Amino acid sequence: MTETDRQTEEKIFDAAAEVFVEKGMDGARMQDIADRAMINKSLLHYYYRTKDKLFDAVFQKLAGKVFAKFAPVFSENLTLEEKLRFFYKEHISFMNENPRLPAFILNEINRNPDLIKRILKNIDFEKFWIMLETQHKAELETYNITRETIPQLMSTIAAISVFPFAARGVLETILENAGMQFGSYIEERKEFAADFVIGALRSRINKKQ
Amino acid sequence: MTETDRQTEEKIFDAAAEVFVEKGMDGARMQDIADRAMINKSLLHYYYRTKDKLFDAVFQKLAGKVFAKFAPVFSENLTLEEKLRFFYKEHISFMNENPRLPAFILNEINRNPDLIKRILKNIDFEKFWIMLETQHKAELETYNITRETIPQLMSTIAAISVFPFAARGVLETILENAGMQFGSYIEERKEFAADFVIGALRSRINKKQ
DNA sequence: AATACTTTTGACCACGTGGTTAAACTATTT
DNA sequence: AAATAGTTTAACCACGTGGTCAAAAGTATT
């Protein structure tokens, strides 16, 4: 099977993913997708009956991929601090290869909050906490991390890696003014992020409230 | 410009701001804006000739307001740590009153990066750094903050307050699963964010590299 | 009261949109 | 080879879109 013989459905999906990520659901045009897939517009409707269904297929797959990227950290046999370094290295690298994905997903969820529920409803956060607790009981105590502080902590950890991509346009302009490149900022960030969070965690030692 | 002029123009602007923030540029409809302003659609075009011009007016004003919120921190006579606490309290409160603003602005910039250049080009970041250096010379040295580390630091500080609003849909769903409210999460965050950053900064003391 | 000017309206338009349909083409089965 | 089922296409459509325009309504000036 040659390059051009790729299955039509796959060609459509890839083209749709490109256009949707670039323009968003509202800004995307079926004709644009058809053009990029180098097929007739009617074929879109033959494989995915409506724009909504096509968007849904694309979103579910891409969003699933992104959220899955948070998981493998827990299968590694590392200390909490090592896991943090591992996470930022992996996660920022992944996002750097798909730089528009975070903003796309966050924005579409903002447009239609139901989109995310299907993806997250399968995740058992209680189980996740138990796993964390059994793997890192001592460390959690040391850092004074409890079930109650998890949301603040986790959202902060995610914020530090995701935000630069969600706010890429702003950041690029500011960095440019300072004579820096977004690319090297991102490279730096892998280490900076881990150092920053680990520093914040260590400062919690012996500060039970 | 008469009294009724201002009223109409203001009514249009407010309605447009609502719709644009809610639906984004692509998703917004001129008819929808006219309906909310309770006027004829033609009147939109009478005051703001095109959708683009109307959007531009709205975006420039809202974005300007948001970025201006970062400034007043520097006019206060406080230590760096106090300023951080002050900033998070003020900034998160402001965003909580306009919860869709951050996602809207970030997304529209992502759609059209030129939008932000007009706003940021007037800001002199060199002057900003000099101000910071003169106000907090000793502290910057203590925390080992240099001109080079500023972008990483500042983007991290912003990330921690902005991200929860940009990712509100995801966060709300996750918090719900854990039996928590977004509102109380945000209230907690004002203090958590400051503690976290201050902790990270303190861990930099005597760690010159 | 008449005039000139501004604001508001309804009717209208060209165009791009997502979507449909019937026919043409291709592969598979009989 | 013929019939059948699946794939692809061009032509088409209803509709919503941003935008226009001339006339009406309202207001200020003379």
Those of residues 20-39 in B touching chain A at CB distance below 8 A are 23-24, 26-27
Q: Which residues of B touch A188 (CB under 8 A)?
A: 152
Looking at the complex, report in whole angstroms how far the Cα of residue A91 sits from the nearest Cα belonging to chain B.
Answer: 16
- Please give the average per-residue pLDDT across B187-199, as a whole number: 98
The H or E element spanning position B96 is: helix B80-97
Measuring CA to CA, which residue among B80, B60, B97, B209 is closest to residue B144? B209
The overall average pLDDT reported for chain A is 92
Q: Out of A163-172, B2-11, B144-153, pick the least confident.
A: B2-11
As a rounded value in angstroms, the CA-to-C1' distance for A43 and C22 is: 15
Those of residues 131-160 in B touching chain A at CB distance below 8 A are 149-152, 155-156, 158-160
Single-letter amino acid, residue A114: D
As a rounded value in angstroms, the CA-to-C1' distance for B145 and D20 is: 59
In the predicted structure, residue A119 carries a pLDDT above the cut 80: yes
- How far apart CA B206 and CA B191 sit, in angstroms, is 25
- How far apart CA A167 and CA A159 sit, in angstroms, is 11
pLDDT bin (cut points 50, 70, 90) of residue B208 is low
As a rounded value in angstroms, the CA-to-C1' distance for B47 and D26 is: 17
- Please give the average per-residue pLDDT across A40-67, as a whole number: 96
In the predicted structure, residue B158 carries a pLDDT above the cut 60: yes
Looking at the complex, report in whole angstroms how far the Cα of residue B5 sits from the nearest Cα belonging to chain A.
Answer: 33
Measuring CA to CA, which residue among A153, A162, A99 is closest to residue B159? A162
In the predicted structure, residue B115 carries a pLDDT above the cut 80: yes
Spacing of C-alpha A129 from chain mean position: 20
Whether the model clears a pTM of 0.95, i.e. scores above it, the answer is: no
User: By CA distance, what is A204's nearest residue in B?
Assistant: B199
- Please give the average per-residue pLDDT across A35-64, as a whole number: 96
Chain A CB within 8 Å of residue B177 CB? yes
Cβ–Cβ gap B178/A151 under 8 Å:
yes
CA B203-A161-A119 angle, to 5 degrees, is 135
pLDDT of residue A67: 86
- Please give the average per-residue pLDDT across B169-174, as a whole number: 95
pLDDT of residue B75: 83
Buried b (16+ CB within 10 A) or exposed e, B86-108: ebbebbbeebbeeeebbbbbbbb
In the predicted structure, residue B167 carries a pLDDT above the cut 60: yes
pLDDT of residue B125: 81
